[in-house]
Amino acid sequence: MRSNNKHDQENGRLFTKQLFLALNSSKKKRQIEISHFLYETKKIPLVISAVQKVRAESLEQLFSDLCSRSFDKISHQEYTMTEHNFPPLQNDRILRAARGEPVDKVPVWIMRQAGRYLPEFRELRTKHDFFSICQTPALACEITLQPIKRFPLDASIIFSDILVIPQAMGLVVEMRPGVGPVLPEPLADPTHISRLKMPDVDKDLGYVGEAITLTRHSLEGKVPLIGFTGAPWTLMGYMIQGGGSSTMAQARIWLYKYPEESHKLLQMITDVIVDYLVMQVKAGAQLLQVFESHGDFLNTELFKEYSLKYFKQISQKVKAKLDSLNIPKVPMIAFPKGATLDSIEIFAKEAGYDVIGLDWTVDPVEARQRVGPNITLQGNMDPTALYSTTEKVRQRAENMVRLFGKDRYIANLGHGILPDAPIPSVEAFIEGIHSV
């Protein structure tokens, strides 16, 4: 029997939240199965009033019984967990390093650590397309956990993509095999800005928040969870170029030819990013990283005008919104890939981030001299160095720690790990970092 009673529907949502919390700590496999059901069918059970009387240990059997009942369709974006009750954190090295506090070992994580170099990731990708994984919280959670199960890393990062923001703003984004991300209808000129919409982040990107909450529970407090976004200039580049580019020429032309319209577009993207990052913290993210993957296409002048300006807004507005919601602020990491030392120095003084990530071209000693003692640095081994012998990888990792110093330092690669990186080298990299 179908019901349109809003009270029953709310009971259904409350029951689902209860179910997740009850099953999470000891029955993760069953949790994933249930999550697949909820998100792939995008339905939530209508629960009879007796549900409210059910004891926690009976929830799993009740769910099985309910599966045979009829359901009302409800958008999966409406499903939220507002009372998280996350397990206590066991490893806070990365949080301590971000705050400048002493650590027993240098924390380490790897950009794109949940990715194609892992056989378990490749196996799952044979069954699901890329953005279906991003938009299905159970799958995003499963992939996020893969490197944590395999390696002694000090942080996890939610599996998603920076291009979910252009998607939410109304652009089509496809992930094409052998090509990468493609936006088949990019912004050809400023008149196309009118095609964009300002999304309701909780609705249009709510699946990311749901994945974060589910992952926080599934981690069981083992390590912190990082949320992330692309920076405005990087996203603008994709939206104009229609994909990756070796020059970003069309996007850079906009900066000179259409400066006012460029700022308008960057501001629109920035406003979405602020709400998106706040939503991620509300969902359970314990750190935030902003990726400026296209920073190397900007000289110091353009960097200050079209990148730094919006980085500052993001930092200031995210912190202000969290304060207004009485939510504790989380450390914020900026990764301005390709930024010059001059730009990095300016960034450290003005942007308001706790951590600055460095790519592999930046000398750690010079960077430390430029940014001073009150900013944590992250990075920066060349991802291609992982193709050396495991012994040399370990030695490079140890030497990197010595160059950066153990204080205010988070170890990482200088960019994302490559798709065919050798797993033994990843193990050697982590061992080398932790050995110093």
Return the pLDDT at 60.
45
Active-site residues, by number, are 112, 116, 125, 161, 238
Kindly report, residue by residue over 224-244, the tens digit of the pLDDT. Answer: 999 999 999 999 999 999 999
Using the Cα atoms of residue 292, residue 381, residue 91 and residue 113 in order, give the sign of their dihedral. positive
Of residues 49, 56, 55, the one with CA closest to residue 22? 56
Judged by average pLDDT, the poorest of 174-178, 193-197, 389-393, 399-403 is: 174-178
Give 283-296 pLDDT, tens digit per residue.
Answer: 999 999 999 999 89
Q: What is the mean pLDDT of residues 217-229?
A: 98
pLDDT tens string 355-382: 999 999 999 999 999 999 999 999 999 9
pLDDT band at 72 (very low <50, low <70, confident <90, very high): very low
Whether the per-residue pLDDT at 140 is higher than 50: the answer is yes
Q: Domain coordinates of the chain in residue numbers?
A: 4-73, 92-435
The arithmetic mean of pLDDT across residues 256-272, rounded, is: 99
Tell which wins on pLDDT, 354 or 7: 354
At 313, is the pLDDT very low, low, confident or very high (cuts 50, 70, 90)? very high
Q: How confident is the model at residue 191 (pLDDT cuts 50, 70, 90)?
A: very high
Q: Is the pLDDT of residue 71 over 70?
A: no
Dmax (CA) for the chain in angstroms is: 70
Two structure tokens written together for 151? 């390696």
The residues with which 44 forms a beta bridge, in sequence order, are: 72
| Per-residue pLDDT, 178 | 86
Question: How many Å apart are CA 144 and CA 149, to the nearest integer?
Answer: 10
For residue 82, the one-letter residue type is T
124 vs 71, higher pLDDT: 124
* pLDDT above 70 coverage of the chain, percent: 81
| pLDDT (0 to 100) of residue 20 | 52
The stretch 30-51 carries a mean pLDDT of: 41
How far is residue 203's CA from residue 50's CA, in Å, rounded to a whole number? 30
CATH architecture for segment(s) 92-435 = Alpha-Beta Barrel (3.20)
DSSP letter string over 144-202? HHHHHHHS--S-EE----TTHHHHHTT---EEETTTEEE-SS---SGGGGGG-----HH
Tokens 């378990």 sit at which residue? 120
Average pLDDT, the chain: 87
As a whole number, mean pLDDT of residues 409-421 equals 98
